[in-house]
Amino acid sequence: MNRLGCVRPTQRRRALWVRAVRRARPLAWATACLLACDSPTVVPAAFAYDPTSLTGGVRYRWSTNQRVRVFVEPTASGTQGDVRAAVERGVAQWNRVPRGDGFTLDVTSTRSNAHVVVFERATPLPLVPDAGCPFSPGSAGGYTYFCAAAGGRAATLRWSDGGAGVLSVAIRVDAGRADGQGGLDALVAHELGHAVGIGGHSDDSGDVMFPQPRVAAPSGRDTQTLRWLLGQSVQLIL
Ligand SMILES: [Zn+2]
């Protein structure tokens, strides 16, 4: 029996999704947090905002020391911004957070070894949604999707072209709703925050995990929340 936090035990599969709605706002970079002297082995006593508010109390993360490979679907250049550049910057931003034995993000150019796919709304859906979890981004500016399967693991998703792989997380972004490249950077960083374990939103606009993200660099509060999460037992491994 697969029991995930407050998820009903009879519910073997459950779509876990989080979304961000972009509005046209100028990018405001967060004040850089000085983290160099911050020990990654010390787990904060509390989170700054609840990292499970969107998952019904379910905590999730990657395996210990997991190298999480992120693949970016090719996107038409120009009008839709540069999703790949935003992903590369977002990956670098989250990798700067002291994480102890937590994940490391990498960008990969190989679909077959990717754990996460990021794609723009205009591209064909590159994955086959799990049968038990509807893929329903609606009009969200950003949408992060994964599906809890048996055994406390996320379901492995199939690629729509039939190729094999280890994919478990999909991120759809609507670049047309982002305010230029800076806004796209903030949106992608936000969704990557969901993909590394933050299943909640902040009410502080200075945080990447604010629902209408305006900054692309994790704040001290984002950092505290992620590090708290990584120090907890979890109900779901991605
Ligand atoms: Zn969100």
49-93 per-position pLDDT tens digit: 999 999 999 999 999 999 999 999 987 655 456 999 999 999 999
Q: Tell me the Ramachandran region of residue 100: left when phi exceeds 0, alpha when psi lies from -120 to 50, beta otherwise.
A: left
Residue 60's nearest CA partner among 187, 218, 195 is 195
Place of tokens 């994480």: 99
d(CA 74, CA 36): 35
Question: pTM score, two decimals?
Answer: 0.83
Q: How many CA atoms lie within 13 A of 164 on its CB side?
A: 0
State pLDDT tens for residues 24-50.
333 222 222 233 334 556 788 899 999
Cα(1) to ligand 1 centroid in Å equals 29
Spans of all domains in the chain = 14-36+49-237
In the reported structure, the alpha carbon of residue 187 is separated from the centroid of ligand 1 by a whole-number distance in angstroms of 9
Q: How far is the CA of 57 from the centre of ligand 1 (A)?
A: 15
What distance in angstroms lies between residue 143's CA and the mean position of ligand 1's atoms?
7
Q: How many residues does the chain have?
A: 238
CATH topology for 14-36+49-237 is Collagenase (Catalytic Domain) (3.40.390)
pLDDT tens profile 125-149: 999 999 889 999 998 999 999 999 8
Environment class of 86 (CB within 10 Å of its CB; exposed 0-12, middle 13-18, buried 19+): buried
CA nearest neighbour of 21 among 145, 137, 116: 137
Q: How large a percentage of the chain has pLDDT more than 90?
A: 68
- For residue 172, the cross-strand partners are 119, 143
